[in-house]
Chain A
Amino acid sequence: MLAQIHVTFKEGVLDPQGKTVHHALNDLGYDEVLDVNIGKYLEIKLDSASEEEAEIRVREMCERLLANTVIESFRFTLVPTE
């Protein structure tokens, strides 16, 4: 199983990288860009017995280490692999 995890800043937390890229896109003429948020993408290969178990364990990994829930939120999807 493969966990595809996205970690992004919560609303209201300053994202200087996102701001810079936002300005750069506007400078390139993409005036429709209203906001840019930059986060992290992680892929984690798992040897889990079931999707239910993987769901519980990956959530725990995110809360304990992969995201700092003071400033970041996370979401993930589980994809079956051979």
Chain B
Amino acid sequence: MKCGIVVFPGSNCDHDCYHILKHILNQETHWLWHKEEANLESFDLIVLPGGFSYGDYLRAGAIARFSPIMNSIIGFAKAGGKVLGICNGFQVLLESNLLPGALIQNQSRKFICKNVSVRVENLDTPFTRLCGENRVLEIPIAHHQGSYYIDPFSLNELEEKGQILFRYCDTEGNISAESNPNGSVGSVAGLTNEQKNVMGMMPHPERCADPQLAGTDGQIIFQSLISNF
């Protein structure tokens, strides 16, 4: 799988993603600089990493969305290319209208950095196909603007079309207000577009994918992606 990792000014999880894909999973991996448009035809996966692109000024992801590289990525995504946005990358995908909805400040008004459990809601996507039935993954979150919002009608539509991929839950997989760390509607932690080739999630799978660190639950998402090729 040929991977591209976008570097915006303020990205800070780009090296983590590069490390996991290149050194742990042995995939061909390249950097993509935000200031240049790029020919992405030969790529299989583009990753928009976490961080604070453009200082999160105005709204998280709002300025990054207009970077030259995003023109190429929007074209790539519309042609069916696989795009994974993590944390700030998720925010950029929403601002780009590649995914529906928006992310607002956490209900608690605090930056939250901790391990959370998420339940895989749809196994029939390129991002989750190797996750077992009703699998609960433990993946860390680290964000201040991670409360997912979409109007109730559209939330229902996302559900019906199987676009919700991850929901915050407890260690047993039960979903409740207590297991929702940031006030996201429907406890949504990650979702995909209707075509299922663009995925955004607030938890950081790249932070739990190196066996030298505690936990490797995040690896399954990258391995699912690799298994498509």
Contact = CB atoms under 8 A, between A and B. Distances in A.
B149 A65 contact: no
Nearest to B151: A12
Contacts of A39: none
- The B interface, classified by DSSP as helix, strand, loop or mixed, is loop
Contacts of B102: 68, 70-71
Contacts of B95: 68
Interface residues of B, number: 21
Given A13-B149, A70-B149, A70-B150, A65 B107 contact: no
Given A70-B149, A71-B149, A14 B104 contact: yes
B105 A16 contact: yes
Nearest to B185: A14
Interface in A21-69: 65-66, 68
B205 interface: no
Interface stretch (B27-35, B43-51, B58-66, B161-169): B58-66
A17 B109 contact: yes
B107 A16 contact: yes
Contacts of A77: none
A17 B105 contact: yes
Contacts of A17: 105, 109
Closest 6 CB pairs of A and B: A70-B102, A71-B102, A16-B109, A16-B105, A68-B102, A16-B107
Interface of A: 9, 12-14, 16-17, 20, 65-66, 68, 70-71
Given A14-B104, A17-B109, 11 more contacts: A9-B104, A13-B104, A14-B107, A14-B147, A14-B183, A16-B106, A17-B105, A70-B100, A70-B101, A71-B102, A71-B104
